Structure 1
Amino acid sequence: MTHAPLATAERTLPVRAAGLSAISGIAFVALLTLIHVVRRDVSLNSQTTSEYAIGDLGWLMVVAFLLSAVSYGALAVAVLARRPRRPARAGAILLALVAAGTVVGGIFVTDPVNTPQDQLSTSGTLHGLGAGLALMFLPVAALLVGFGLPSDSRHVLRWTAVLPLAALLMFLAVQAVPDMSIGWPERLLVLVYAVWQIVVARVLSRRTVR
């Protein structure tokens, strides 16, 4: 009898954490969409979503960053709470680092996209470090979680696991092309990352992972 509450908590924690992750991820996408509507001063072609944090309404983007961080952090908890095998555990740890990097990217506002490297502010430098960490670690985390977490929805986890890596490679390829605008590719990258996170969170909140 004394172990019943603990056992119940162990069963419900992964589901609740996954539910929080899904809700936070959906809220992030919804808020980011709203920001695109109200911030017409930011170019969709030449400026990244991080630049929405600059200006009087910049706090909206800061909130969006924090929602995204919660979604990744809660997903890490949802995965770890299921006591998975090593690959998925490693993926969950990377997700926690992605969440931490996203918090840093949200708290510290970026510099304008055309700022010379030798004129970057401390805030802009820290933003780049945090956001860059999240950008690079998420595809690896997705692969480790997608292929390392056994589930009755294994096919969904696996085919979605490759999407973040594909989006990142596309984004890096675009950056290598001279005079190519990065606004839309970066937005596609952000969307793919969010879609992956929401899909996996929904799977873990509904399904029994064995």
Structure 2
Amino acid sequence: MRYGKTLAITGLYSNLFFLFIFTLMHFIRPDKSIAGSFVSEYAVGNYGWLMTLGFFCLATGSLCLLIGLLKSIKASKTAIVTLCIWCTGAFLFSIFTTDLPGTPPTPQGLIHGFSALIALVNLGISMLAWGFIFTRNANWCAVAKTSWVFGGLGIAMFIVFLFSPPSLRGLTERILIVWDVSWLVLVNRQLYINSIYNQI
């Protein structure tokens, strides 16, 4: 299945491109506080289209990873469902923009917020679930324990984000996002390596 390599490359570079846009927005939108403003606020106002593009790259990269994993390894229902929920949520919070602080809540803002929260917690669970799957496959053992670490700390970071004060919620969200996307990049990289040696 030669398209396995294509999926891996597309997923890897899509997630890396998200990280690039994510970093860039901090320089071109200095009006947003790193500590107190949500990343989603970059998608509203000047250069909002660029952050939206970044979110779509993240969602696309996640979907490519999901398909690539399903084609290369037998997974549990928990691992599949949680990663599917993450992918679905990523596309939803890409399509629906957030409400800015101080503005009345809108349906699209509520969809964005709830889909992001549900997606993030499921990604943390998914990291743990895939860690167990990786231990049972020789091609994936190298990232099994790392996946457990990412999952455990990812869930802890999500809880810290939820209960952090508003003045620090933007910062804790950024740390959580970088941590989660790093896992996506790591697993995508392993998928690419496996696709080369096993021609998936």
**TM-score higher than 0.5:** yes
Separation in structure 2 between the aligned mates of residue 178 and residue 53 of structure 1, nearest angstrom: 23
Equivalent position of 2:160 in the other structure? 173
Deviations 1:159-185 (A, max 9, x none): 133314413323423542556511111
- Contact persistence 1:77–1:92 (CA under 8 A): no
- Contact persistence 1:75–1:92 (CA under 8 A): no
RMSD: 2.2
1:191 maps onto 2:173 in alignment = no
User: What does residue range 119-130 of structure 1 map to in structure 2 within 5 Å?
Assistant: 119-130=104-115
1:132 maps onto 2:132 in alignment = no
Contiguous gaps of at least 5 residues in structure 1: 1-8
What residue identity is the alignment partner of 1:184? L
Equivalent position of 1:163 in the other structure? 150
Structure with more relative contact order (C-alpha pairs < 8 Å, separation 6 or more): 2
1:143 deviates by 1.4
- Contact persistence 2:89–2:119 (CA under 8 A): yes
- Contact persistence 1:24–1:70 (CA under 8 A): yes
Equivalent position of 1:70 in the other structure? 60
Identity %: 27
1:152 deviates by 3.4
SS state at 2:10 partner: helix
Structure 2 length-normalised TM? 0.87
| Count of residue correspondences | 195
User: Moved runs in structure 1, 4+ residues, more than 4 A?
Assistant: 177-180
Equivalent position of 2:74 in the other structure? 85
Match of 1:203 among 185, 190, 195: 190
Equivalent position of 1:3 in the other structure? none
- Contact persistence 1:168–1:189 (CA under 8 A): no
Equivalent position of 1:98 in the other structure? 86
Equivalent position of 1:44 in the other structure? 34
What residue identity is the alignment partner of 2:74? R
CA 1:182 to 1:56, structure 2 compared with 1: closer, same or farther past 3 Å? same
- Contact persistence 1:66–1:102 (CA under 8 A): yes
